[in-house]
Structure 1
Amino acid sequence: MRYKELVDVYEALTSTTKRLEKTTILAEFLKNTDADILPIVTLLSLGKVFPVWSEEEMGIGLKLLMKAISLVVGVSPEIVEDNVRDKGDIGLASEHLFGNRLQSTLFTRPLTIVKVYNNLVKIATISGKNAQSKKIRILIELLTSASPKEAKYLTRTVLEELRVGIGEGTIKDAIAEAFDINKEVVERALMLTNDPGIVAEVAKEEGEKGLKRLNLTPGKPVKPMLAQLSKNIKDSIEEMGYALCEIKYDGFRVQIHRIGDEIKIFTRRLDEVSDAVPEIAEYIQKCLPEKDFIVEGEIIATKEGKPISFQYILQRVRRKYEVERLRLEVPLTMYLFDVLYYEEPLLDLPFERRREILESISKSKKGKFGLSKQVKVTPEFFERAEDLFEYSIKKGHEGIMIKDPHSPYMPGIRGKKMLKFKAEPETLDLVVVGGTYGRGRRANLIGSYLMAAQDADGNLKTIAHTATGLDDATLLELSNKVESIMTEKKGRKVKAKPEIIIEVAFSEIVKSPEYESGYSLRFPVVKRIRDDKGLDDIDTVKRVESIFNMRD
């Protein structure tokens, strides 16, 4: 299948803002795609080359891509950069430049989807000496054969910025429509595999029965189950009727997989960080059986037995070098709170039963490894939960979790089966989409940041500007990060690729026509940069509405 056919679909998707129309366009294309390339097509439809849990990445930044474009179209990198700045998008700039290119290569062959995919995968495998020049050569091979429209989407795909308005929700609905399968079945298959390509292929070849056979597999992480905010402890427990309450640790949430003799540790972004925290793998080896499993827990950094700043944990998890030195400087403690797989999938078991299994297979290691402190609470004795909350705060933790003991594990779902009650004001995880340079001594730094949440279709909707809460060092770090992914600059205002996630505290949510979300945050304060979270983890406009309604 030619790449042009996929590009035509991209164009059709871009031509409408209606989700149902986008779903039908994509469903028709998936239905008419051969099963052997369906996994590739499905991933490329999302602007991705690898499933979200894959460790592979192309490692191509904007500057390297602009250099490849300049070599193909026969202009200077500065001209390419000017076009990107003027258009505000690498794809539109590429389309313009390729439409006016000064040189062309004879005997080019039409691009196929398989050729595009294989070359992009090949780029990800290149490392070591002369890696950049090798990556550019492969890029040039693709771009040389590309039409202006193909260049538009090729360059966007390289940077994973497809901009056709397709998210996981649309993919789910398109697969269901294309192969006449219940949406809930498709959704569950996607939750358990985190691989829309595999789900599409199985749906086409095996139908609903095939999708129902897909299940959790150690080695392939799933999105974590998410918690809603509890307004108060007593009401939450009365609504559940009976609850399991645990300490809420201010740490780094991880999912730990054992496959044979191998231990893999994944962040909530599904990045593998096993090499950065070797002691956690050692604790797991010693304290859990030599069986295949998937467990979930929180890593915290401690000093003299007390938890210390979340930023210290980030130092550990980010590091690829000097791990042993940091291991001594920033000791880690592991608290497990759930098991998703033990010799077989356990997701559908009630949480209380999963906890019992976790307790039966775990050995504690004082000061280094254990299970989250938990109490069973009924409405008549809700004070037990309040006592746990006070104990948690006294020990330097965030608060408590209130969990429905009858609930199955629901990957990626935020609901009332798992609640959090914290001492601090509620926060939102938002993505930086732009900013404004400061004045005076901060004229060379981006001092105010434009933040966005995502709507039901995965589109980003602005909600606030924030400039408070940044010390000089963090401001410099954040400003440099935004400048490195800047896509447009006009006067003091800039736009940026949506990559940097920030946890923002606020005093109140109010309705506001000033921002695309329809809401605004009063007195927003930067609490911390969340390097442990990705774009898929940011909060939704729906959650903003929920908090707004709850506080009314």
Structure 2
Amino acid sequence: MPTSLISLVSLCKEIESTRSRKKKVELLSSFLKRLDSSEIKPAVLFLLGRPVPESESRALHVGYSTIANALMVHQQHLPVEMNLTIHEFASMISKVADAKGGGSRKFRKDHLSGLLARLTEEEKEYVVRSLSGDMRIGANEGIMIEAIAHASSAPVEEIRMANMILGDLGLVAETALTRGRNAIKALGVNLFVPLKPMLAETARSTDEALKILGKAAFEFKFDGVRVQIHKSGEVVRIFSRRLTELTSSLPDVVEMVLKSIPAQSVILEGEAIGFRDRPLPFQELMRRMMRCHQIDEMMKLVPVKLFLFDILFLEGRSLIDKPYVDRWRILQEIVPSELIAPRIVTDDREEARNFFERSLSEGHEGLV
């Protein structure tokens, strides 16, 4: 029997009312196990406030004004139907995401108005939260990963790795619950499918980092745009940390990669910063990145410098399971030194402090 949207909303309310992380995981896990295979992905994305996965090129393009206009139109009409299912909701949202070209803005508003007209007041509250990316129910990505692991009897680390590879936690959940642990373990890195970035934890100072780690690698921290670069032969595509494509905004970076990176197939991570003798303010780089036209002119006004700091894939082989020290060695072997982020490995506090001061003196933000 299809699962109703109201049952998903009831889950949202129950999760929101409990502070216990363990209880949240249990509630989510139990709910996921009851769903039909086609309902798992949209339910997970709804709960995360991401109706469209990060890894997809589609976007809802539904901002506050679109939702507000849809609500105004909806308030002028009585509800026409109730008991929407999760599958029906996902289908309607997919149509909104597919809307393109002339008239798409009106289509989105009208379609959302029609959707809202089919919802109860309770459903409407959580649908608006999900569409706006502001769920605030206490079911963040980390808790959801634990719940998927619990529901599928897979280790949390395997679910976390699968999420990094696919960039779509809804698809990860569907795969884990319907095809099992072996399917999750078999997932591999694919060129031109962006991977979710690995994120660092913070430390208040280089002294604190050394106290925690003993010996540590320090790299310059840049005030730019994090980029993930995929190259296959003469084709280069660039993605942001949010998995959106940036290739058309960074033709100069594409040229750098084609000219300087000899590998036939590779995925690299780094940072692109505005640079003219010294780093330019982040706002200037953003002004360039947001331009859809006159890119050549913006390239002259805001030149970009590329710093690479990781390699995730090389010549058909995934490197994400390799230790950081091995990936760095491979990076140095295939990337010219002028494109590699400045880095030291040390357990000496004075050396780390001096490196931190050097980063600041050169106009950067500090160290990672």
Please report the TM-score for the alignment, with normalisation by the length of structure 1: 0.60
Which secondary structure state, in structure 1, belongs to the residue aligned with residue 19 of structure 2? coil
Cα displacement (A) at 1:335: 1.4
Cα displacement (A) at 1:21: 2.4
The 5 A counterparts of 1:479-494 are: none
The equivalent of 2:362 in structure 1 is: 395
The equivalent of 2:8 in structure 1 is: 6
The 5 A counterparts of 1:445-484 are: none
* 1:308 matched to 2:280: yes
Partners of 2:11 and 2:175 lie apart in 1 by: 22
Structure 2 CA distance for partners of 1:171 and 1:260, relative to 1, 3 Å = farther
* 1:225 matched to 2:199: yes
Cα displacement (A) at 1:295: 0.8
Partners of 1:59 and 1:314 lie apart in 2 by: 19
Q: Find the partner of 1:164 among 137, 145, 156.
A: 137
Q: What does the per-residue CA deviation read over 1:472-492, in whole Å, with 9 as the maximum and x for residues that have no partner?
A: xxxxxxxxxxxxxxxxxxxxx
Q: Is the 8 A contact 1:336 1:372 kept in 2?
A: yes
Q: What does the per-residue CA deviation read over 1:397-447, in whole Å, with 9 as the maximum and x for residues that have no partner?
A: 344x4xxxxxxxxxxxxxxxxxx4xxxxxxxxxxxxxxxxxxxxxxxxxxx
The 5 A counterparts of 1:56-455 are: 56-74=58-76, 103-105=78-80, 108=81, 110-218=83-191, 219-229=193-203, 231-232=205-206, 236=209, 240=213, 242-259=215-232, 261-303=234-276, 305-342=277-314, 343-363=316-336, 370-377=339-346, 379=348, 385=352, 388-399=355-366, 401=367, 420=368
Q: Find the structure with the greater CA-based Rg.
A: 1
Structure 2 CA distance for partners of 1:208 and 1:384, relative to 1, 3 Å = same
* 1:25 matched to 2:27: yes
Cα displacement (A) at 1:279: 0.6
Amino acid at match of 1:226: A
Between stretches 154-163 and 111-120, larger displacement belongs to 154-163
Q: Is the 8 A contact 1:339 1:357 kept in 2?
A: yes
Amino acid at match of 1:319: R
Q: Is the 8 A contact 1:265 1:272 kept in 2?
A: yes
Cα displacement (A) at 1:331: 0.8
Q: Which runs of 5+ in 2 are unaligned?
A: none
Q: Is the 8 A contact 1:111 1:142 kept in 2?
A: no
Partners of 2:16 and 2:221 lie apart in 1 by: 43
Q: Which runs of 5+ in 1 are unaligned?
A: 75-101, 402-419, 421-552
Structure 2 CA distance for partners of 1:136 and 1:239, relative to 1, 3 Å = closer
Structure 2 CA distance for partners of 1:310 and 1:14, relative to 1, 3 Å = closer
Cα displacement (A) at 1:327: 0.6
Amino acid at match of 1:23: V
Structure 2 CA distance for partners of 1:114 and 1:261, relative to 1, 3 Å = farther
Structure 2 CA distance for partners of 1:131 and 1:205, relative to 1, 3 Å = closer
Task: Write 1 or 2 for the structure with the bigger share of strand.
Answer: 1
Amino acid at match of 2:103: N
Partners of 1:330 and 1:313 lie apart in 2 by: 7
Amino acid at match of 2:199: M
RMSD of Structure 2 on Structure 1 (CA): 2.7
Residue identity (%): 29
The equivalent of 1:43 in structure 2 is: 45
Which secondary structure state, in structure 2, belongs to the residue aligned with residue 164 of structure 1? coil
Partners of 1:136 and 1:357 lie apart in 2 by: 50
Q: Is the 8 A contact 1:68 1:140 kept in 2?
A: yes
Partners of 2:222 and 2:64 lie apart in 1 by: 38
Amino acid at match of 1:171: M
Cα displacement (A) at 1:167: 0.8
The equivalent of 1:95 in structure 2 is: none
The equivalent of 1:453 in structure 2 is: none
Q: Is the 8 A contact 2:25 2:144 kept in 1?
A: yes
Task: Write 1 or 2 for the structure with the bigger share of helix.
Answer: 2
Which secondary structure state, in structure 1, belongs to the residue aligned with residue 339 of structure 2? strand
